[in-house]
Amino acid sequence: MNESRVAVVVLSCGDDRALHGLAQALDDVTPMIEMIDENALLLPMRGPTRYFGGEDKVARRIVDAAAVIGIDDVSVGVGSSRLAARLAADRGGVCIVPDARHRSFLAAQPVTVLQSRAHVDADVVSLLFRLGLGTLGAVAGVDRTTLADRFGPDGEAVHVLATGGELHPVCAEAAPTQCFVESHHDEPLVDTARVAHAAGELATRMVCELSPRGLVACRVIATFTTEHDETCSRVWYHPHGFTESMLGERLRWQVEKWLDDGLTAGVAHASIDVQTTQPHRTTQLGLWGEHGEADRAAWAAVARLVSLVGDAVRVPEWHGGRDPMKQFALVPAGRVDLRDVDAARQRVTPGEVHPRDWTGDIAGIVPTVPVEPCREVDVVDAAGHRVVVTGRHLFSSQPAFIVDGVRRHGIVSCFGPWPVEERWWDTARRRRVARMQCLVDIDNRRTAWLLVSEYRSWWLVGVHG
């Protein structure tokens, strides 16, 4: 039997509480379950297959274990590599790719799965596609050295994945440790926030120990033990390695869910055992150093903040589109690598077609404060009649007041309406709106609002506050 057979279990509901429960339930099936994604976990299959008498029986047992704790929408994929198993799981239900069909299964997959399922850089995937390598089979057909010459380490990794290999082998048992950090707490920690903070500090210490060696941890075992020897141990994996904030966020999740179960004592010991490492390309400093003291201090602070408030720590990401309030979105800081300066810059760089010359864009200044969620208001004329935008994109009458709940604000002047038609090619997501800027008198001070008319209703979306 192929030693690298693995099963990937994907939850469709995306409920992290359910994922924690499932991981606990599957601890009886096999140890060393890897948490690989927000809604997915991985099981090494070698031991369980022998014990339960076949892969289909293990898969059935996983589905049954999920059903026992009330999870019905679970899919299981079994394959000879992480990528193959993940792609099999994406098909829904139980999908087992036999070892003999492993390569042909992968060869038929589009090259875009490397980005969505294997965290390969989007630029590399895009370039592969434009070079005519549209499937993993086509990529596997190219000589490995050629890819390595053209794309560097990314090309080598792409070739390994496309040919059915693993960047980091799956381990069914604990490997020799590469780095071990731990903390003892004489006064056991009971409060979730304090445990999460201690976990975040451990993650920072781990990164500080590995960094001078030019390494980053890809696979770690995080263990927390209470005074009464209750233990929670999880294996975390990321193909590009963990930064302190990424690992801190995961450990925070682990302890939160564990402490929610109700423990009899406080946490007295925490440890991180680094199992797999790889060279960290992005922290390799140049002659004069690309990262300053301010950068390092900020990264450390972000890691600490993530351990305090988790996903409430967010960084901007360019999303594009015609809505000036949504062109940048905020994404959790724990899920991006802040140390990768190039990736960070790319993350916030507007696309080549910056929507400045579109007729629907706000040509001048945009509101500084978004109203979230946007608030429905009424726009009325001097006679108290509702103002709407006609089919000819004109006001039905001159707007005079905005009624915001029980308050009525006088409109000093208004500009627009400017029609915008978004995603006209997509019947499900198409949107026709009209925008209006207006100067409003509120308690004898003048301010500017941005309103949007959609389905004959007005919504306040932004304020120049």
Binding residues vs another protein (CB under 8 A): 193, 292-295, 297-298, 300-302, 304-305, 308-309, 312-316, 324-325, 327-328, 330, 333, 341, 344-345, 347-348, 350, 362-370, 372, 415-416, 437, 439, 443, 445-448, 462, 464-465
Q: Say if residues 230 and 263 touch (Cβ distance below 8 Å).
A: yes
C-beta of 399: minimal distance to another protein in Å?
14
C-beta of 357: minimal distance to another protein in Å?
12
What number of other Cβ atoms are within 10 A of residue 294's Cβ?
Answer: 8
Q: How far apart are CA 130 and CA 120, in angstroms?
A: 16
C-beta of 413: minimal distance to another protein in Å?
8
The Cα-based distances of 258 to 23, 195, 262, 382 in angstroms read: 11, 11, 8, 60
Q: b/e map of 104-114 (b: 16 or more CB within 10 Å)?
A: ebbbebebbbb
C-beta of 290: minimal distance to another protein in Å?
12
- Identity of the residue, 242 or 449, whose beta carbon is nearer to another protein in the bound complex: 449
The Cα-based distances of 270 to 111, 187, 266 in angstroms read: 40, 13, 11
Mention every residue, 6+ apart, whose C-beta is less than 8 A from residue 203: 242, 244, 245, 247, 248, 251, 272, 303, 307
- Identity of the residue, 114 or 338, whose beta carbon is nearer to another protein in the bound complex: 338
Q: Give 31's Cβ-side CA count (13 Å radius).
A: 7
C-beta of 446: minimal distance to another protein in Å?
6
Q: How far apart are CA 244 and CA 257, in angstroms?
A: 20
- Identity of the residue, 281 or 464, whose beta carbon is nearer to another protein in the bound complex: 464
C-beta of 254: minimal distance to another protein in Å?
19
Reading the block at residue 154, the tokens are: 């990314």
Mention every residue, 6+ apart, whose C-beta is less than 8 A from residue 365: 464
C-beta of 372: minimal distance to another protein in Å?
8
- Identity of the residue, 43 or 315, whose beta carbon is nearer to another protein in the bound complex: 315
- Identity of the residue, 290 or 454, whose beta carbon is nearer to another protein in the bound complex: 290
- Identity of the residue, 174 or 298, whose beta carbon is nearer to another protein in the bound complex: 298
C-beta of 346: minimal distance to another protein in Å?
9
Q: Say if residues 355 and 318 touch (Cβ distance below 8 Å).
A: no
- Identity of the residue, 396 or 447, whose beta carbon is nearer to another protein in the bound complex: 447
- Identity of the residue, 34 or 361, whose beta carbon is nearer to another protein in the bound complex: 361
Mention every residue, 6+ apart, whose C-beta is less than 8 A from residue 305: 313, 333
C-beta of 321: minimal distance to another protein in Å?
11
Q: How far apart are CA 89 and CA 66, in angstroms?
A: 15
Q: Say if residues 267 and 255 touch (Cβ distance below 8 Å).
A: yes
- Identity of the residue, 278 or 307, whose beta carbon is nearer to another protein in the bound complex: 307
